[in-house]
């Protein structure tokens, strides 16, 4: 019997964030251990400016007929200037498919106020998934420390125990706002880091993308077009044979917790390095840091993850 988890999805869409959103809502129709009750989508600047990431979230939910609310959050990191990723996600942040014009609008309430009020008022503890820079969540926890008791878990796509993707040391989401992540690492909350060690193992290849593009579900076809754009960057610029789906893996690991194998380690974030800013430094030996542990994902059931993605995207009619 499936159980339900109350979730806030915090993201910066972004091609893989978009598929994370689609997966999260589709979980209601899938047969895994958990279905996600998504209480709202909060948006942060990251892959593109806040205005664009908000628009992209609206494009996706409207295209897929998803009934939810979009809350705009921080337009820049806590301290640093914003770094964006048009090389990966294009000028819109969601280049590839042609989307019809947006008919709805985002909520007036700020993402951080929404997070604080929703977590405070929820009868059940809330899981927060972040698939972008962690600015909104850090701001909510700094502004309202009482909410921490009502957070079940933080699951974040970001970081890597070994090598980065934006610099040799850092993964993009952490590099953009390292101070926000370090604040969160120091909390006693249950936290799961879904980093590049696992996301890079679960590649989607051109044949997988063609499979989506020829499906009868228009949402699966749109996702195929998104991935067709995303994969070109990885093939041409990174020399990879396909593309990882970073953000959906974080979402998938809640729907089916068996998808990821994790180990608890202390993780600190390099906030002052000359070459290593944004690095997630994992204390594998367990004798250097006293930061509360984070569950670091080190292995992934690739087959189960990919099956879930296909099933989810094709479930939209």
Residues designated catalytic: 246
One residue of 27, 42, 47, 280 binding ligand BDR per CB under 6 A: 47
Q: How far is the CB of 132 from ligand BDR (least distance, A)?
A: 6
One residue of 9, 10, 14, 106 binding Ca ion per CB under 5 A: 14
Strands of 191-194's sheet in order across: 70-72, 34-43, 3-11, 126-130, 151-157, 191-194, 293-300, 260-269, 280-282
- Buried b / exposed e along 41-60 (16+ C-beta atoms within 10 A): bbbbbbbbbbebbbbbbbbb
155 and 254 in contact (C-beta within 8 Å)? yes
One residue of 17, 197, 228, 301 binding Ca ion per CB under 5 A: 17
Closest CA to 219 of 59, 30, 34: 59
* Residue 173 found at the interface with ligand BDR (CB under 6 A): yes
Q: How far is the CB of 14 from Ca ion (least distance, A)?
A: 4
Distance separating alpha carbons of residues 219 and 255, to the nearest angstrom: 20
One residue of 25, 32, 63, 172 binding ligand BDR per CB under 6 A: 172
| Closer of 10 and 197 to Ca ion (Cβ) | 10
* Residue 279 found at the interface with ligand BDR (CB under 6 A): no
Q: Provide the CB-side half-sphere exposure for 83 (13 A, CA).
A: 16
* C-alpha angle 292-295-300 in degrees, rounded to nearest 5: 165
x/- binding map, residues 83-112, to ligand BDR, per CB under 6 A?
A: --x--x------------------------
Cβ neighbours around 293 below 10 Å, total = 17
N-terminal to C-terminal alpha carbon distance within the chain = 25
Name residues contacting ligand BDR, limited to 112-131 (CB under 6 A). Answer: 131
Distance separating alpha carbons of residues 12 and 14, to the nearest angstrom: 6
Q: How far is the CB of 86 from ligand BDR (least distance, A)?
A: 10
One residue of 5, 6, 8, 16 binding ligand BDR per CB under 6 A: 16
* Residue 246 found at the interface with ligand BDR (CB under 6 A): yes
| Closer of 170 and 265 to Ca ion (Cβ) | 170
Q: How far is the CB of 236 from Ca ion (least distance, A)?
A: 20
Q: Residue 71's beta-bridge partner residues?
A: 42
* Residue 244 found at the interface with Ca ion (CB under 5 A): no
* Residue 204 found at the interface with ligand BDR (CB under 6 A): no
* Residue 294 found at the interface with Ca ion (CB under 5 A): no
Distance separating alpha carbons of residues 217 and 233, to the nearest angstrom: 25
Name residues contacting Ca ion, limited to 102-161 (CB under 5 A). Answer: 131-132
* Residue 171 found at the interface with Ca ion (CB under 5 A): no
Q: How many residues bind Ca ion (CB under 5 A)?
A: 6
Partner interacting with residue 315 (select from Ca ion, ligand BDR, none; CB below 5-8 Å by kind): none
Q: Which residues bind ligand BDR (CB under 6 A)?
A: 14, 16-17, 47, 85, 88, 131-132, 157, 165, 171-173, 246-247
Q: Which residues bind Ca ion (CB under 5 A)?
A: 12, 14, 17, 131-132, 247
């Amino acid at each position: 019997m499936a159980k339900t988890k109350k979730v806030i999805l915090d993201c910066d869409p972004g091609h893989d964030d978009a598929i994370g959103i689609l997966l999260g809502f589709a979980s209601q129709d899938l047969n895994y251990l958990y279905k996600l009750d998504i209480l709202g989508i909060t948006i942060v600047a990251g892959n593109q400016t806040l205005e664009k990431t908000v628009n992209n979230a609206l494009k996706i939910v409207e295209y897929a007929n998803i009934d939810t609310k979009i809350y705009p959050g921080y337009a820049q990191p806590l301290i640093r200037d914003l770094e964006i990723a048009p090389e990966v996600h294009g000028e819109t942040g969601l280049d590839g498919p042609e989307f019809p014009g947006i008919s709805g609008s985002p909520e007036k309430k700020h993402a951080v106020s929404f997070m604080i009020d929703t977590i405070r008022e929820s009868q059940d503890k809330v899981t927060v998934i972040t698939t972008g820079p962690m600015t909104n969540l850090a701001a909510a926890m700094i502004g309202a420390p009482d909410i921490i008791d009502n957070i079940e878990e933080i699951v974040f796509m970001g970081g890597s125990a070994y090598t980065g993707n934006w610099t040799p040391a850092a993964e993009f989401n952490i590099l953009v706002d390292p101070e926000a992540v370090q604040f969160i690492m120091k909390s006693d909350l249950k936290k799961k880091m879904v980093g590049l060690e696992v996301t890079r193992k679960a590649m989607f290849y051109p044949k997988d993308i063609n499979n989506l593009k020829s499906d009868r579900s228009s949402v699966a076809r749109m996702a195929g077009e998104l991935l067709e754009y995303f994969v070109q960057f990885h093939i041409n610029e990174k020399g990879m044979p396909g593309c990882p789906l970073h953000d959906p893996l974080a979402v998938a690991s809640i729907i089916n917790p068996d998808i990821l194998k994790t180990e608890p380690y202390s993780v600190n974030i390099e906030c002052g390095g000359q070459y290593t800013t944004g690095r997630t430094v994992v204390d594998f030996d367990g004798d250097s840091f006293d930061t509360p542990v984070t569950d670091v994902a080190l292995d992934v059931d690739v087959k189960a993850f990919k099956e879930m993605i296909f099933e989810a995207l094709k479930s939209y009619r």
